[in-house]
Homo-oligomer: A and B are copies of this chain.
């Protein structure tokens, strides 16, 4: 008799919408997908016209989004004759992060209480909220001096995007909201807690992924930073730390079971196990088949670069990486997170603000620019750019950086600049690969996923040529949600562990972008110049001579144009 089919549900909370995916646990086949765009604010984000750094979300959108997208996906799945709701073995959840929200003693979001409904400080503080720059600098300053080395696992700099910065900024700028909050919880923890009926901050399960990468949680110093350290930032942060007393867990652990009330709303049986929540990029890496030696790049408006490494003995602290956290991606392995602050965002910026009519008058601007840019040969424009329009996340961890373009003549065209910007992001990608390899973590393959990996062959070919490595593409176009289903699968017992589930449910496309030798050679020369600019403008205290940079670009341009 054939083995009985089973299914898993993955719920993926992105920046603008939540997506539910239902897959067959045998092979990852997608049975149903449903997307719910957050109705509040602009594309789901609450903004403040007076402060471009502010980005919040309405927690009610998360709850509505769970009910609506899961119910819709279940309804679609039920049309499949092989699917039955009784065969759903588990639910996995991923969310953006650090996206903390202030909650009351029962764990309900303050934003859902009438008194705070319209208070921006009481909402969820979306990952890309940058209001807490001053607090991040202060935390970095104090943590750097601390003998426990709280920053050694997160690249040496604490970010304004992260948990403690945000809570501290709220305390200082919206003290009433801060005082009303019994605790602050990550969105990734709130959703599993809510659907399993266990939202009380003191007992709700917390994921290692958000805690480790965003809240300086590490076994090495016994969990969260010590009370005295938090107190030195603000006595109330020490109290906030007290509300998080349970050990943080990897996502192959059960957070709880679907309550009858929630299950009924989404037309699933009650009692289905729900995995501990994790961050979207990390589960995306799982959905893209991450394993030791594989770098997964999730390339969208920004980039997340993920790796895992076996936990055997000591693992080096790698300067500039956003995080190295045991169990944050695959349980039992170190999870490494790096990233670029802007990739697609830079392409979109150029298309929106600087594309002339010839490319912008009709059709898709990016597509029009790409048609022209892909006809150019590496080096022939004489341009090189830095990919820092939104700062540099890895390896410099510095938001106070900006874009740079060098090599313009009186004949430089828009497609040439566009291509230089694509190349700049590729050089940024190579810089990350080089950094992890310098610290002994070998990158044996690169698997790409996300919108740009799916849609832009030119970008992927440039990445292959610049990195001088084949670029593979994840088979699934929704790797984050697929990663969430894998944890649903594992907590539901359909596979014995994450690697086994990945082997069955993930893979790469047969199309692989392979490096062109001639292009790779030119890009090696261009990268030398990129790296000089990178170090000169980005590394404190550096004095890199740049007096040959323009001449070298002109010589390279001349060589490429005349060698043909």
Contact = CB atoms under 8 A, between A and B. Distances in A.
A389 interface: yes
A402 B390 contact: no
Interface stretch (A157-165, A278-286, A347-355): A347-355
Greatest chain B CB density within 10 A among A402, A413, A543 is at A402
B550 A412 contact: no
B410 A346 contact: yes
Nearest to A352: B356
A409 interface: yes
A401 to B, nearest CB: 5
Contacts of A412: 349, 353, 389, 403
A355 B361 CA distance: 12
B410 A389 contact: yes
A403 B400 CA distance: 23
Say how many copies of this protein the assembly contains.
2
A342 interface: yes
Interface stretch (A10-18, A267-275, A534-542): A534-542
A158 B354 CA distance: 38
B413 A406 contact: no
Contacts of A355: 356
Given A342-B410, A413-B353, A546 B547 contact: no
A411 B346 CA distance: 10
Contact of A408 (B352, B403, B543, B546): B403
B409 A390 contact: yes
A130 to B, nearest CB: 12
Interface in A45-65: 52
B414 A353 contact: yes
Nearest to A409: B389
B413 A408 contact: no
Nearest to A545: B543
A291 to B, nearest CB: 34
B402 A382 contact: yes
Interface size class, chain A = 35 or more
Contact of A542 (B346, B545, B554): B545
A361 B360 CA distance: 11
B410 A550 contact: no
Given A360-B356, A537-B546, A543-B545, A407 B413 contact: no
A322 interface: no
A400 B551 contact: yes
Contacts of A413: 353
A237 interface: no
A408 B389 contact: yes
A528 to B, nearest CB: 16
A538 B547 contact: yes
Contacts of A401: 550-551
A2 interface: no
A7 B532 CA distance: 62
22 contacts: A345-B410, A349-B412, A352-B356, A353-B356, A353-B414, A354-B414, A355-B356, A356-B356, A382-B402, A389-B409, A390-B409, A390-B410, A402-B409, A403-B407, A403-B408, A404-B405, A404-B407, A404-B550, A405-B405, A542-B545, A543-B545, A546-B546
